[in-house]
Amino acid sequence: MSRAFVKDDNEALPSEELPERPVNSEPNYITPAGLAKLRRKVEKLHDEHVRLKGAQEDFDRPRLAQVERDLRYYQARLESAILVDVSKQPRDEVHFGASVKTEDEGGAVHSIAIVGEDETDAAHGRVSWQSPLAKALMGAKVGDTVTWNRPAGSTTLNVLEIHYPRT
């Protein structure tokens, strides 16, 4: 029989290589809640990796490649995490870990939490400490007005409240 019709078990299936997820070079500050969530993410990916590697039937190579890539990324993020003790932040100023209530020029009130890159969720008001919004708020106190330079144009925000989670 010709070798053209025989598949060697050691030959890899043709597939596209997944690009690695880019890792930010900035410090990886994280809140205690964010660190716990990141650990759960790594555990979940590890469990899925074990399950996929142990599957004898219906082996999903593309999914395995994706899980392995994500596991490398999140493991690296976990190893580089710098836990910030928010209990040591000054309670009267906006710093990493703060939840801030602001009012914009139109009178709309917004709640913003300043968190680490792995914790961001703009739809729920969780912004990275590296974002222009967080940078505009850093160091502000209740009663201060800050200018947020956005791509759509600058706007001012009045700081109404500052809260930090209990640790």
Each residue's pLDDT tens digit, 51-77: 888 876 666 788 889 999 999 999 999
| Predicted pLDDT of residue 22 | 85
Q: Identify the domain boundary among 59, 83, 107.
A: 83
pLDDT: is 25 or 155 the higher one? 155
Q: Return the CATH number at 48.
A: 1.10.287
CA–CA–CA angle 48, 38, 166 (5° rounding): 145
Contact 142, 136 (CB under 8 A): no
d(CA 29, CA 84): 6
Q: How many structural domains is the chain composed of?
A: 2
| Predicted pLDDT of residue 62 | 87
Q: Are residues 100 and 65 in the same domain?
A: no
The answer to whether position 16 is within a domain reads: no
Please compute the mean of the pLDDT values over residues 144-151 and round it to a whole number: 94
| Predicted pLDDT of residue 61 | 83
The answer to whether position 10 is within a domain reads: no
The answer to whether position 12 is within a domain reads: no
Please compute the mean of the pLDDT values over residues 28-45 and round it to a whole number: 96
| Predicted pLDDT of residue 10 | 38
Over residues 87-124, the pLDDT tens digits come to: 999 999 999 999 999 999 999 999 999 999 999 999 99
Query: Residue 11: pLDDT above 50?
Result: no
Residue 37 structural domain: 25-83
Q: Return the CATH number at 151.
A: 3.10.50.30
pTM value is 0.80
| Predicted pLDDT of residue 13 | 41
Query: Residue 9: pLDDT above 60?
Result: no
Query: Residue 3: pLDDT above 70?
Result: no
Q: Are residues 133 and 105 in the same domain?
A: yes
* Average pLDDT value for the chain: 88
| Predicted pLDDT of residue 167 | 63
